[in-house]
Amino acid sequence: MTYRKLSHTVWECKYHIVFIPKYRKKVIYGNLRRKLGEIFHELARHKESVIEEGHLLPDHVHMLISIPPKYAVSNVVGYLKGKSAIYIAWELGNRRNATGHRFWARGYFVATVGRDEEMIRKYIQQQEEEDRRLEQMNLVPPEFVWSKIEVEHSGG
C-alpha cells in the first residue's frame, strides 16, 4: 500500500470507475482508443490524480484511479468525461460545435478500492479477453435472428 501526501494529509483513496459511450455504442477503437488512454492520463494529472490501471474497450472504459481527498470523485470523473468528449468532438471533425456533450452517457459506476485492489486490477486487465470471449459465444448476429423471426411469422 502506497500512501500519498498533501500539505496536511496522508492519504490513499483509490476507486474503480466504469463509464460508457452514449447508447453504449462500440466506438472506442483504433487511433481514438490509443489517444484516449493518453488523454485520460493527462487529464487525471490536472486533478492531481493517477490512473493506476485502465482499459478502454469498444463500448466502455474501466479505470483504477487514485484521487486526492480534496477532490470529489464526481468532479474528477466529470472532468475526465467532459474534457475527453471535447477532444473527441474536435478530433472527429465537429470543430464548430466542439462542446463534447454527446459522446459519453450520463453517469458512471464507482466503487472504493481497499483490500481487494489486486483483484480489481486483474479484473480490469482481463476485460478485453472476457469481452472477446463473450462475442465469440454469440456467433449469430442479432440482425439475422430478427429477420429469421419475421420470416417465420409472415408465413415464409
Say which of 71, 79, 108, 123 is annotated catalytic.
Answer: 123
CATH code at 101?
Answer: 3.30.70.1290
Could you tell me the three cell numbers for 103? 459522446
Instruction: Specify whether the CB–CB gap between 20 and 59 falls below 8 A.
Output: yes
Q: Indicate whether 147 pLDDT > 90.
A: no
What's the rounded Cα separation, in Å, for the pair 113 and 55?
17
What pLDDT is stored for residue 137 in this prediction? 66
Q: Please give the residue range of the domain that contains residue 118.
A: 4-153
- Placement of cell 454527446 in the chain: 102
- 23 among known catalytic residues: no
Provide the domain count of the chain.
Answer: 1
Write b or e for each residue in 112-122: b if 16 or more Cβ atoms lie within 10 A of its Cβ, otherwise e: ebeeebeebee
pLDDT per residue as tens digits for the range 90-134: 877 655 554 556 889 999 999 999 878 888 888 888 887 777 776
Q: Over the stretch 47-81, which tens digit does the pLDDT of each residue have?
A: 999 999 999 998 999 999 999 999 999 999 999 99
pLDDT level of residue 146 (50, 70, 90 thresholds):
very low
Distance CA 107, CA 54 (A): 18
